[in-house]
Amino acid sequence: MRTTPTILHLDMDAFFAQAEQASKPSLRGKAVVVGGLGPRGVVATASYEARVFGVHSAMPMAQARRLAPNAAYLVPRFAFYRSISEQVMSLLRALSPLVEPLSLDEAFVDLEAGGAAWDGASARLAGAKLRADIRAVTGLTGSVGLAASKMLAKIASEQAKPDGLVLVEPGTERGMLGPMSVRTLPGVGPATGDHLRRAGIHTVEEIAEAGEAELVRLLGRAHGHALHAMALALDERPVVAEREAKSISVEDTYDVDIHDRPRVGLEVQRLADRCVRRLRAAGLSGRTIVLKVRRYDFSTLTRSETLRGPTDDLSVVREAAARLLDAVDTTGGVRLLGVGVSGLADYTQEDLFAQAAGARVETAEEEGPEEPVPRSETVERHWRAGRDVRHTEFGHGWVQGSGLGRVTVRFETPCSPPGRVKTFRLDDPALEPADPLPLVRPSPLETAGPAPLAADGAAAPGGPPAPD
């Protein structure tokens, strides 16, 4: 493990909610909750103003509404979030060729590999400048952790939230980790945490004191060995640049179980269409078609069919998905459907004749009550809260809510003051869906740009104050 804190972990603060606040002036400083808005929806992200009321990610949306009834509840706009993520990731790649994205709003960076930092002081300067640049380019804030390992950098960024920077000085790692809960360590979820608690182990220091042999006895060789090493602050994992996608998939969670078999078939065909569009947009093809079905009792089935060669042909994917559906009993209702393609390649099998001949069909079944965050990006048949719209007279706006044949729209843009609200008929021909407007950096009159930063992230004398 290296001896300098030159591994950086960036985590954008309440990313989806913060992006919505930045694009909707009337929501700035207010409680915002992003997620599925149906009866089975769950929270994807809650702004810090909403977290004051106890709202958090993965919480059922119905519970969130009870805790924070006056918050703004919005559906996700993933294309918009991806566009912001691309801007942030480009800033990270300017620091180093070794950038390991974990999600749209989170990534590791090896500062040493890019020559951006070589010791604690230069790492702190690089992290502070990155935060300032992110704010200047996107208007959003992110938290930065710096350490000699990926595990410690990620823990540090969590401590830095919101909108801060924490550097773990070499030699202080054990002292920092010791009093923390065992749940702080990667791989310690609720089940492992409860198992350790029953053995009288509550903190990271107690894991270290228990010894490797005891942890292997409690958790098995692989998990016990890894957990003991992490408790000793040992983490040799390198930053791995740009992981290749292993699969491309889409899925929808339905507010009401689908019982009609023809409707299920139509939904699978629609999902296959979306999956192929993503496949082609990425310039990829794949050999294995995967169908995912979550039934009324939360049991999850997967069915897969491996073709003779990779394809991005819509008809082939559609037909394979339909065959896989034929092998699934949907009696009782379906609450989630998904279609995916794996075994990816950057070329397409030219001879598609009899692709299915000799195809290998595999099945798997997973029982579990978990309900994923709905990540549907389908074209909306109804006006959903948070979606972008345009009116021929009033311009760009977003949907505040709809019902009883009416839709309420607030007309504002990322650079405007909080806008006015108007109500229309659902079928008003002057109102149509629109693409999100980009976040525009402040003009020179509003800001003099990122201030020169001292090593602790504060503004250097003579410059404007650094972002809080």
Catalytic annotation, pick one of 106, 112, 305, 412: 106
Residue whose pair of structure tokens reads 């809650």 in the numeric block: 46
Distance CA 62, CA 42 (A): 8
The burial class, CB within 10 Å (0-12 / 13-18 / 19+), for 342 is middle
How far apart, in Å, are the Cα atoms of 387 and each of 41, 146, 269, 373?
Answer: 17, 37, 25, 18
> Is it true that the peptide bond before 190 is cis, omega within 30 degrees of 0?
no
Q: What share of the chain is helix, strand, coil (3-state, %, to 5)?
A: 30, 25, 40
Encoded tokens for 220: 């098995």
Encoded tokens for 411: 């007309």
Instruction: Give 38's contacts (C-beta < 8 A, 6+ positions apart).
Output: 61, 253, 254, 255, 374
Please confirm, yes or no, whether 112 is among the known catalytic residues. Answer: no
Q: Pairing mode, if any, of strands 106-110 and 99-103? A: antiparallel
Task: Please say whether the beta carbons of 227 and 187 come within 8 A.
Answer: yes
Distance CA 258, CA 273 (A): 19
Provide the residue type at 285 as one letter. S
The burial class, CB within 10 Å (0-12 / 13-18 / 19+), for 233 is buried
Crossing angle of helices 78-95/120-138, nearest 10°?
150
Count helices and strands (H / E) in the chain: 13, 18
Task: Please say whether the beta carbons of 143 and 11 come within 8 A.
Answer: yes
3-state secondary structure labels for all residues of 98-114: CEEEEECCEEEEECCCC
Positions annotated as catalytic residues are: 106
